[in-house]
Structures are given as structure tokens and as C-alpha cells.
A and B are shown apart, each in its own frame.
Chain A
């Protein structure tokens, strides 16, 4: 029943939210998201309980069931989704939205969609949620975003929609190759036995393209900086903290174990694309003047590393990816909160127009520096654990002959990320103040609380990552078995 609640609560709450008054909708959304957090924590603390799975016939003649389950790769992302929404709501609490009830209703619907993606164990259901997560976000970004929002979000929509359609072909193709024609995840895991290697080879791209657009992987990334920049920051948090993880998650759950041969065959090609994307995005991030665009490009680089580590197919690497998905979500939401607070106070996001904030807003500065360090993956921060595991995984990879090249070039981007992140800190927070920042004040206690919570998470998981390991171990084992790397 737990997975049904995780999808059902935000869905119902969202629909109710549309009918509420603006102020009430805000509190209602926070309440609902906290409820989801509670349920998800309860779900994760259970092990092997029948409550974690739910399955009823849905479209009988098609062989599709409404099957959801809180297990494997989905667990950690459900936790992240459940955790992220209250943080997003609290950190943007004072932001006045026009028609706020619609805003919060749509936000909750997007949470329901995301939960569905992470919980579905039926391919058609997965596809449903995959698209459904997109629609509310499209409306959110187009309605409350910046000046060029309509064009930017439309580009985003077309990109992802095209990717999804390709995936649909892939899903139907695999469906016709399963025994008894079923959409069940387990049936999909066995389907590759009936599909020849040549077929897997082209089929791989049909499914991968949907995930590649979502992550995004070079050259499918061009929607991302525009959309992040034009969306309201709360939506950007959803997009970059959670929705990009849909792509990584998709590869881990619906691609690599479903088409193992295809994954091996194209490993080097995808890895090369990841490397190109990482370096390219890091270089562009260095030249950005807009804070949002800079963070957007840095996100491309980080996701590229995760994808690289998946295609190295090692146990450590994949464990690193799962842990890093969680950590990256926390860190980037922290960064967006800081950007949001700066923009709210000074009405600008231009790095060149800011300066000397450290004197005016010391608490904000301390928080930001810690989040920044986490983003560069410094030891003692959470991202270090994930990135270290990923690098060691790529290095020890047995499926590619270029593992050293990949590690070295990928590691370069860490240095580049230090360059642009620290450069940003220096130019925004240190140096003399100017007319814009002269009257700056520090953040409010509520905002301190949220950022403090994120910083605590960063430090705790940086020192004691054991819970994350335990949460992901089972999924990693299963994946390695499906990929024939474990008996």
C-alpha cells in the first residue's frame, strides 16, 4: 500500500489544491509534502514487507498491470523526491505567485508523476508517469517563468516528448518479445534472451535517447540551460534536483538490465559523449555571468559523470551513481536556494553586478561555501563519497579499453568545476560591495533553517554515508546480476 500512498497523496492533494484559496493552498501543499515524506520514511525503514508492493490488473488485454513497488533503485530517489518538496516549499515560502493555488496544485501533481516514475514496475505504467511528470512542469515553467519562458519550455517539451516517443517504440518492441506478452519489469528483464544482439544494438538507442534528453547528455542538452534559466526557481529545483534523475534512473532500471548487450556495445560511444559534454559544459560554465545558467551547466557536467560511471558497469561505480543521485539532488537544490535568495534580495542574477556579500550576509556566505565545496566534491562532503566511488568504478572498468582516458578527462572537469564555483564565490561574496549590494541584509531565520538543514545533510552523509550504502546495496547487486557480472 505504501507506493500507492506515495503516488496517491500528492495526486489527490494536488487536485484538492486547485480548489483552495491561494494562502491555504500553500500550507496545504507543505502539509501534503510532509505527509509524503513521512510515508516514504516509513516505507524505507520497512524491509521485505508485502506493504511495499502493489499490483492489480489494469489493461488486461494488453498485459499491463498497475504494478508499483518501493524497491531497488527507486527507493533512494523516492526518498530524495519526498525530501525535496518540503525543502522547496519552505525555501520559497515568501515568493508571491499569481494564482498560487494553481501553482501548488501543479507542483504536487509533478511530485505524483515523479513518484510514479520511480515506483512503477510495469513498463506501460512507467511510460504513463514519465509523460505525466512532464505536463505539470511544462505548465509551471510556462506560466510562472521569466520573459522568454514560452519558447524555452516549449523547446524542453518538444525535446523530451520526441525522446519519449522513441522510447515508446522501444517498449512496444520489447513487449512483443516478452514471453506471454507482458509489460512487467521482470518480464522485460528476461526479454533480451529473445532479442538478437544486432537488434539490441539499434533498440538501445530508441530507449536511450529518451533518457539522454532528460539527463541531459551532449548533444541532447540544448534545452536545459534555457529552461533552467527561464523557469521560476522552485520549478528549476524540481527540474534539476529530481527530473534529471529520471534519466539516470531510467538507464539503471529500464535500459542497462533490459538490454545488456546493447549497453555493452554502445558503452564507449555513450561514454565519449559524456566526456565531451562534461568538458564542454564546464568550459561554458566558466564563462557564464548569469548564476542560474552557470549552475545549469555545472549540472550537465555532474550528470555526465554519473552516466559515464553507469556505462563502466562496475559495482563500485554503480553504487557511486546511486549515492551521487541523492547527494547531487540535495546539493543542487541548496545551490538553487542560494541563487533564489540572492535574486530575491538584489533583483539580479548577474555575477558581474554582485560583490561583497560576505560582509553583509555572513550566514548565507558560510552556507553557500559549504554547498559549493560539496559541489566540487571535497572530502568530508557528501558528494565526495559518490564521486570517489564513481571514479574508482570507471578506473577499474572491464568493459572498456579506454578506462584510463575516461578517468583522467573526467577528473579534469572536477578541477574545472572548482575553477568556476570558487570564482563565483569570490566574485559574488568577496571583494568590495557596490551600489546593488550596499544595502544587503542577511537571510531570515526560516531561510537559515532550510539551508542549515541542507548543510547538515551534506556533512552527515559526508562523514557517515553508511545508510546510503545500505539503501542502495540490494539494487546494485540485482543490477550486476542482470548484467552478468555476478553469478
Chain B
């Protein structure tokens, strides 16, 4: 409960800070302090300190898995603010509002990671989505941004409708007539046609939210149109947040009847991996490439829904952390670049060795090369599915796709290191460079000692 209430309050504070504080820099400082407090609150909650004893009547259920994920989301946002806070404030005329909206999204993420009731799932997902529609269009005078915002809103609203319909079906199908996860798949109703219909509708809607193919069509346009700073946030923390809701629902409520729905997930995974990776190869802009690569990465995350064991839970925690950190790092660099095409990166290594080196680490991590966290994340995903002894063909397919992904990630590395390019002027402070190096070190640390993070799942506090 700590994080839900704190993030909501912080959102309101940020709104007012926009009125009171006149300088962008001071607003950024307030936001960084706020996210710091939120992170501490989240960690305290994990350690068993609950400051807000609210009786949710079991509609929210706080377990280590969800709380740990919250902490990861907050930590990633902290990194994001530290790297890109200034750029976020500089999007338009209302710097306070952008930070406020981000805190509201985090509030939604905290609910989505701890729901125990379908209504809470719905509310969580909506609280995540609505601020994002606004953030996407926050670059008001840019037509592309407006278009992206409208597109996202229309498609998002539509998918929300589908989710509601699915919830209604599930409610109708459950024996007890209840929205609680524990009551859903009990008794005769488990696997009834009505329940399956509801389940598939919810699956479709959540697949839309995490941009899994074939429900991904909004992703490239929205990611491309939104201001790059916002894309960074959408593609990482938001996506992982929606994913946690996904795995929570299907693991907790429908884990027993997984034979019936896993085949649909397998099909979605195949589409996602294939479309994400193959389309990314043909992109000319790094930003668009990252949009497609984020689709491809979701394909790997979906493996956790096929595994549904301890390895899967550990894996998704690691995956969301590593994927978010690597992508935030890359986008932070991208925000400072003027030319977002692959040519824009030519010869970057000579001029800005730190940026090029850290970008290389982030890219290697996304590609899943050992010694980076990305490898261990992919390893957990693959191992969790292989432990079930099923879907080996899917694992092979995924690894073939991972080999394809090397193709487009390495194009950036090749441009930076092996090609000559024109001089360019990037605004980089020493703090920014230092932060990038720190981020790269964290990613390498997670690649060598993933248990630093994963063991948190098993520490029990009283």
C-alpha cells in the first residue's frame, strides 16, 4: 500500500510544483527526490513496514514478487529521471505535469502488480494507460506526436473495452459469481466455453498493452511519434508493468488450467518473435528499430507464461530489470542525438568513447551476449520453458530469432566503431557520462551475479 498512496500523493505534489517552481531544474530535483522517497517506501514495504493500514478487503494482495517488481520499476524510473529528467522537463511548457503523469503511471503499476481482483486489474491498467495517452501527445506542436497520441488513445480505449468484456465473461462463468482471482477457475466452470471466451478476450487486451503481435500495430507509430524521452518510459517500465499484470493473472488465477490456454500464448509468442525481429532488421531509424526490438523482447518475456514455474518468476523479475535498464540507457543517448538514423551513429566511438562504449554494453545486453544481464535474463526464460519439457520447438525458434536480433543491434555498434562519420555536437555533462557508466556496470553485475536481485524474492521479513 505504501507505494500506491505515496506515488499518488507525489503526483499531486508534482502538479503543484509546476505552479510554484519556475525553473525546470528545480522541478527535476523535486521529481528525483520524490522518486527516491517512493523507492525507499517500496523497499520498506518489502521489509515489512506498512505505513498505511488500508483494508482493501482482499482486493489487493501484496506479495514479494509484486513488491520487488515495484522496487525495480521505481529504481528504473530513478535512473530515467537522473539521465533524462532535464529532457523530460523540456518537452513543452508544463514541466511539472509530465512528472506528475509519470508518478500516476507508477501508481497504476503498483496496483497492477498487486491486484487480487479483476476490477483492480482493470483500474490498474487504466491508471497506467490514461496518463500515457497524454504524455504521448505532450509535444503539442508536433503533428507526429498528436497523431501518435490519438492513435494510441483510440486503440487503447478499444482494447480496454475488450478487457471489460472479458472480465464480464469471467464473472459470469465463475461458479461463485466473483471477481476474485482465487474464485475464478474453481469447480465446474474451469475450462467452460464461456470462461475460455473471457480468458481469450483478456489475453488479447493484455497482449495489446504489452504490444505482443498480432496486436502490436500501434507500437511502432506511437513509439516513433511520441517524444523520445516519453518513448523511453513507455517501452520499458510501462511495458514491464503491464507484463507483470499479465503473468499475475494467468499464473494466480488460471495456472491450474494452463493446458487450455498456453497454446494461444505459444502462438502469440511465435508471431511476436517473428514479426518483431524480422521487421526490426529493415528499419532505417534507430528509434523505430528499438520500437520493433521492444516487441521482439516481449516475445522472450512471454516465455514466462509458458514456464509458470519458479524459474519463470525469477526470470521475469530479472528480465524486466535488465531490459528496462538497457533500453533506458540507449534511449537516454538517443534523446541527445540529432540524427536518429543509423548513419547518425557513424564514428561516435572516436568522438564520444564513453557514450559508444556504454551503448555497446546496452546493445550487447539486449542481444543477450554473456556477461551482460541480458544473457542471464534470456537464460532464465529459456530454462523455465525447458524445465517443463514442452515447447522445445518454440525455444529453438526463439533462439533463431535472437540470432536475427544480433543483426540489427550490431548495426549500431558497427556504425559507432567501424565507420567514419561527421563531427557532431552532443550535450553531455560529466554526470550524464558517469550515470551511463554506472548503468553499464549494473548491467554487467546482473549478468555475472543475477542472484543479487533474484535472491530478494526469497528473503522473508516478519
| Least CB separation from B376: chain A residue | A59
B40 at the interface (CB under 8 A from A): no
Contacts of B383 in A (CB 8 A): 172, 175
Partner of B370, one of A127, A150, A162: A127
A169–B370 CB distance below 8 A: no
A450 to chain B, nearest CB (A): 30
Contact surface of A with B, Cβ cutoff 8 Å: 59-61, 127-128, 131-132, 135, 139, 142-143, 149-150, 154, 157-158, 161-162, 165-166, 168-169, 172-173, 175-176
B387–A176 CB distance below 8 A: yes
B451–A162 CB distance below 8 A: no
B residues 353-402 near A (Cβ < 8 Å) are 364, 369-371, 375, 379, 382-383, 386-387, 392, 395-396, 399-400, 402
A128–B371 CB distance below 8 A: yes
B400–A162 CB distance below 8 A: yes
B386–A149 CB distance below 8 A: no
B158 at the interface (CB under 8 A from A): no
| Least CB separation from B458: chain A residue | A61
Contacts of A132 in B (CB 8 A): 370-371
Smallest CB-CB A-B distances: 7 pairs: A165-B399, A162-B403, A131-B370, A128-B370, A142-B418, A172-B386, A150-B418
Interface size class of B (residues with CB under 8 A): 20 to 34
A143–B403 CB distance below 8 A: no
Known A131-B369, A135-B369, A173-B386; contact A143-B402, beta-carbon cutoff 8 A? no
B341 at the interface (CB under 8 A from A): no
C-alpha gap A110/B40 in the complex (Å) = 42
| Least CB separation from A66: chain B residue | B448
Partner of A158, one of B369, B406, B454: B406
C-alpha gap A172/B383 in the complex (Å) = 6
Instruction: Known pairs A168-B399, A172-B379; list 4 more (Cβ under 8 Å).
Output: A131-B370, A135-B364, A172-B383, A175-B383
- Chain B interface mostly: helix
B414 at the interface (CB under 8 A from A): yes
C-alpha gap A152/B158 in the complex (Å) = 48
A172–B382 CB distance below 8 A: yes
Known A143-B417, A166-B399, A172-B383; contact A161-B406, beta-carbon cutoff 8 A? yes
B407 at the interface (CB under 8 A from A): yes
Contacts of A128 in B (CB 8 A): 370-371
B406–A61 CB distance below 8 A: no
A157–B382 CB distance below 8 A: no
B451–A59 CB distance below 8 A: yes
Can you report 26 A-B residue pairs in the complex whose CB atoms are below 8 A from each other? A59-B451, A61-B314, A61-B451, A61-B454, A61-B455, A131-B369, A131-B375, A132-B371, A135-B364, A142-B414, A150-B414, A150-B418, A154-B410, A154-B414, A158-B403, A161-B406, A162-B400, A162-B403, A166-B399, A168-B399, A169-B386, A169-B392, A169-B399, A172-B382, A172-B383, A172-B386
Contacts of B225 in A (CB 8 A): none
B residues 393-452 near A (Cβ < 8 Å) are 395-396, 399-400, 402-403, 406-407, 410, 414, 417-419, 449-451
